[in-house]
Amino acid sequence: MLRKLLRFCGDLRLSFWLLMAIFFCIVAGVLHIGASPDIFRSLKYSLMSQWLQANLAKNFSAAWWIPPLLSALFLFGLNISACAADRILSLLRQWRTVPAGLFFLKLAPSLMHVCFIVMLTGHFMSLCGGSGKVIAVKPGEAVALGRSQMKIVGRICEYCGLDGPMKDGVEQCTVVLEFSGGTGVQEESISFFEPIVRDGASIHLLPDSKLKKTSLPPELKLLVKRDEGKAFIVAGFIMMILLMLWYFPQLKKIEREE
Amino acid sequence: MTLDSIFLSCLYLAALGYFLCILIPRGKQAVAETVFIAAFSFHTVSLVSRGWMAGLFTPGAMLQEMFFLPWCMAFLLLVLRLGKNPADMVFRGAAPLCLFTVFALFYPKVPAHYLMTRTIFSQMFFLAEVMAHALFLLGGWFALLSLAGKSDEKTCHSLVVWGFVSYSAAQVFGAYWSYLGWGNLFSWTGRHLTSAAIWCFYAAYIHLRFLTWWNPSRRSVFAVAGAAVFFLMHYLSYFSEMSFRSLGL
């Protein structure tokens, strides 16, 4: 009975049509985001559930594609879980009779599916439990950060001195931050694309290529971000690619031999 | 001769060489190969000089899609030829290559500011993503040829499968680049969603081999549709920046 249910839920034709449904929902999303970017800007740093509560009814004509997309993703998650479980159960019966290399080759697609489920779980955690707060960089400003406090001490920007299209464009900016809390006072620097992690939150200096050398100091922004899902997404994706890099050449080798 | 003029003249010479490859009659494969290798060498010099155009070496300028995509296509055609594929079949791929090199000629040549691409993850992202785009486009082209009976479906399938692997790697590098800069692995923006849509489309393609209804010709139609999806959803956005004024520097 369980196997029958797994086979029904994990049917490959269902996977294909769910993938196509996800594709069409995303295409609709791309068109709507392109047409009304202001509606979706706030989605960047807010929880999906809160955003939907505030915006779905108000902007239904632009945001209608999100609930079907999330539903299709959820069903796809169930579909590939069932597909992977069914396949792994079948393969486990063969593991003593089949050579180890061939067994792992047969198992690899299911492991890729498991990695994909890990990634989907990570995205789900980010959508439901992540948070982000943007702060303008003003020396002297203090922000509470979990059990410690973060104070902006100062900042410095370097500009491109070369003649040409990049002349006077910002090359790198550094903001000095002071953290005070249980372990005393500590100073740390943060730059574009060089975030730091403190009290479970990652702190990023948001890059802006339009910044130019002027008499006024540039307007810089910091992002304090908590995202429980990111480790799952990165780990799942890396494992999946490693498996792909091993699996497809092996498959090709077998095809050639045949 | 300045770097700007080396970049531009080599790009024009490469376009001319690829165009000649289409015109050379089938019986003169050795000539076609020589012209193709010369054109590819000019193209490589053009890209390297572009990397130095800002006065210091900026890989981001070299990997900019409009200029790097045709180079990747030419590189893949050479790899296919080295893989003992028939020369006349491989050089049929010069037609889309020629087209995309011509598109590059109409695109503004000034490199973008390098602040956004200063991390190695952005460079790895562009390298993997543009290579995947080249694989998808050539996969679509060879699928079209296989429908016309001028290529086999296996070539198309291999190109698309490797395109999918490269595209998946690009998603990891891109996600990490996005995290380092903007704190998000994924954003609800047109750019990120377009990548997700293309990835889902090709993930569906990968599974077609296990569905009996999808015979080789139907799969080829799907691969052609994939190339069209990439062109319409991603590449078409560059057309708004193209102009006749950009034919020079």
Ranking A29-33, A122-126, B66-70 by mean pLDDT, the lowest is: A122-126
The per-residue DSSP string of B150-165 comes to SS-HHHHHHHHHHHHH
pLDDT 10s digits, A30-81? 999 999 989 998 887 778 888 899 999 999 999 999 999 999 999 999 999 9
Asked whether residue B222 carries a pLDDT value surpassing 70, the answer given is yes
Cα–Cα separations (whole angstroms), residue B168 to A86, A218, B11, B235: 25, 37, 30, 18
> What pLDDT is recorded for position A7?
85
B190-205 as b/e: b if 16+ CB within 10 A: bebbbbbbbbbbbbbb
In chain B, where the domains are located: 3-247
Report the distance separating Cα B98 and Cα A239, nearest Å. 37
* Most B-contacting residue of A110, A244, A245 (CB-CB within 10 A), to test interface: A244
Which residue in chain B is spatially nearest to A35 when comparing CA positions?
Answer: B190
pLDDT 10s digits, A136-148? 888 888 888 877 8
Q: Please indicate whether, in this complex, the C-beta atoms of A233 and B185 are within 8 angstroms of each other.
A: yes
> What pLDDT is recorded for position A165?
62
How far B174 CA sits from the closest chain A CA (Å)? 11
Read off φ and ψ for residue A190, nearest 5 degrees. -135, 140
Categorise residue B180: left if φ over 0, alpha if ψ from -120 to 50, beta otherwise: alpha
Provide mean pLDDT across the span A92-101.
Answer: 85
Q: Please indicate whether, in this complex, the C-beta atoms of A237 and B188 are within 8 angstroms of each other.
A: no
> Tokens for A251?
């498959």
Per-residue pLDDT band for A166 (boundaries 50, 70, 90) equals low
Q: Please indicate whether, in this complex, the C-beta atoms of A44 and B112 are within 8 angstroms of each other.
A: no
In chain A, % of residues over pLDDT 70: 95
B54 at interface of A, judged by CB pairs closer than 8 A: yes
Judge whether A84 and A10 are in contact, CB under 8 Å.
yes
A121-145 as b/e: b if 16+ CB within 10 A: ebbbbbbeebebeebebeeeeeeeb
Type and span of the H or E element at A140: none
**Whole-number average pLDDT of chain A:** 87
Cβ count within 10 A of residue A71? 14
Q: Please indicate whether, in this complex, the C-beta atoms of A12 and B211 are within 8 angstroms of each other.
A: yes
> What pLDDT is recorded for position A141?
85
Q: How far apart are the first and last CA of chain B?
A: 14
Cα–Cα separations (whole angstroms), residue A56 to A21, A34, A154: 20, 17, 41
Q: Which is more confidently placed, A138 or B132?
A: B132
Ranking A121-135, A201-215, B76-90, B148-162 by mean pLDDT, the lowest is: A201-215
Q: Is A163 exposed, middle or buried (0-12, 13-18, 19+ CB in 10 A)?
A: exposed
Q: Please indicate whether, in this complex, the C-beta atoms of A234 and B196 are within 8 angstroms of each other.
A: no
Cα–Cα separations (whole angstroms), residue B17 to A25, B20, B38, B99, B105: 42, 5, 7, 12, 14
A253, HSE (Cβ side, Cα atoms, 13 Å): 9
> What pLDDT is recorded for position B13?
96
Chain centre distance of CA B178 = 22
> Tokens for B243?
């102009």
> What pLDDT is recorded for position A215?
62
Task: Say which of A19, A240, A241 has its CB closest to residue B200.
Answer: A19
How far B205 CA sits from the closest chain A CA (Å)? 8
Q: Which residue has the tokens 């486009």?
A: B137
> What pLDDT is recorded for position A1?
75
**Whole-number average pLDDT of chain B:** 91
Asked whether residue A4 carries a pLDDT value surpassing 70, the answer given is yes
In chain A, where the domains are located: 2-130+234-257, 149-226
Alpha helices in chain A (DSSP H): 2-9, 12-35, 37-41, 48-55, 60-63, 66-92, 100-129, 230-257
Chain centre distance of CA B46 = 16
Judge whether A230 and A217 are in contact, CB under 8 Å.
no
In chain A, % of residues over pLDDT 90: 40
Q: Which residues on chain B are in Cβ contact (under 8 Å) with A132?
A: 183-184
Chain centre distance of CA A121 = 11
DSSP B245: G
Read off φ and ψ for residue B6, nearest 5 degrees. -65, -45
Q: Please indicate whether, in this complex, the C-beta atoms of A165 and B186 are within 8 angstroms of each other.
A: no
Asked whether residue A183 carries a pLDDT value surpassing 80, the answer given is no
Q: Please indicate whether, in this complex, the C-beta atoms of B55 and A164 are within 8 angstroms of each other.
A: yes
Asked whether residue B249 carries a pLDDT value surpassing 90, the answer given is no
Per-residue pLDDT band for A211 (boundaries 50, 70, 90) equals confident
Report the DSSP beta bridge partners of residue A184. A181
Which residue in chain B is spatially nearest to A124 when comparing CA positions?
Answer: B186
Rg of chain A on CA atoms, in Å: 24
Q: Which amino acid is it at B85? A: N
Q: Which residues on chain B are in Cβ contact (under 8 Å) with A34?
A: 190
Read off φ and ψ for residue B139, nearest 5 degrees. -60, -45
Per-residue pLDDT band for B173 (boundaries 50, 70, 90) equals very high
Ranking A128-142, B88-102, B161-175 by mean pLDDT, the lowest is: A128-142
Asked whether residue A250 carries a pLDDT value surpassing 70, the answer given is yes
User: How many Cβ pairs closer than 8 A exist between chain A and B?
Assistant: 138
Q: Please indicate whether, in this complex, the C-beta atoms of B54 and A22 are within 8 angstroms of each other.
A: no
In chain B, % of residues over pLDDT 90: 67
Report the distance separating Cα B6 and Cα B29, nearest Å. 29
Per-residue pLDDT band for A164 (boundaries 50, 70, 90) equals low
Chain B residues 204-223 with a CB less than 8 Å from chain A: 204, 207-208, 210-211
Task: Say which of B113, B119, B197 has its CB closest to residue A169.
Answer: B113
Task: Say which of A23, A194, A245 has its CB closest to residue B200.
Answer: A23
Chain B residues 161-190 with a CB less than 8 Å from chain A: 161-162, 164-165, 168-169, 171-172, 175-177, 179-190
Per-residue pLDDT band for A210 (boundaries 50, 70, 90) equals confident
- Candidates A169, A170, A144, A168; CA nearest to A155 is A170
> What pLDDT is recorded for position B110?
80
Task: Say which of B176, B182, B201 has its CB closest to residue A206.
Answer: B182
B51, HSE (Cβ side, Cα atoms, 13 Å): 14
Alpha-carbon dihedral angle through residues B50, B53, B57, B61, given to the nearest 10 degrees: -50
Q: Which residues on chain B are in Cβ contact (under 8 Å) with A16?
A: 204, 207-208, 211
Q: Which is more confidently placed, A165 or B38?
A: B38
Q: Please indicate whether, in this complex, the C-beta atoms of B204 and A19 are within 8 angstroms of each other.
A: yes
Q: Please indicate whether, in this complex, the C-beta atoms of A207 and B111 are within 8 angstroms of each other.
A: no
Provide mean pLDDT across the span A236-248.
Answer: 91
